[in-house]
Amino acid sequence: SQQGEEDPQALSIQEGENATMNCSYKTSINNLQWYRQNSGRGLVHLILIRSNEREKHSGRLRVTLDTSKKSSSLLITASRAADTASYFCATESRDDKIIFGKGTRLHILP
């Protein structure tokens, strides 16, 4: 089974609102990564947080990591129409595997 599981599976919000997506995983990790995918194209890396970090920021993105709960969240602030996409978390374990979750489909309403 896949390591990461995102929640919710789908999310629709008004433009300008904040969007929060969650990711849970099962085993110990070296780091956790978030990616975005537009319309079935290749994924684009957004942010990486290491297992000894608790929070990381990049522009309008904020990622948190709680290794005791084996969970992470991605917050997108002040959403825009261009943020409409699927978002995936991926966990990297000690054997260099990078395993993806099923993703959250985000739709920003005008």
**Contact positions vs another protein (CB under 8 A):** 2, 30-31, 33, 35, 40-45, 48, 50, 88, 90, 92, 95-103
Nearer Cβ to another protein, position 15 or 100?
100
Spatial CA neighbour of 31 closest among 47, 45, 49, 44: 49
Q: Residue 71 carries which side chain, given as an amino acid letter?
A: S
Number of neighbours of residue 90 by Cβ within 10 angstroms: 23
Residue 14 beta carbon to another protein: minimum distance, rounded to whole angstroms = 25
23 token code pair: 């990711």
Q: Which residue, 45 or 78, has its beta carbon nearer to another protein?
A: 45
Give CA–CA dist 13/105, Å, rounded.
11
Tokens of 40: 């079935």
Nearer to another protein, 15 or 102 (CB): 102
Q: Give min distance, CB of 58 to another protein, in A.
A: 12
- Give the residue with the Cβ less far from another protein, 88 or 106: 88
DSSP helix/strand/coil, 3 = coil
The least distance separating another protein from the CB of residue 61, rounded to whole angstroms, comes to: 14
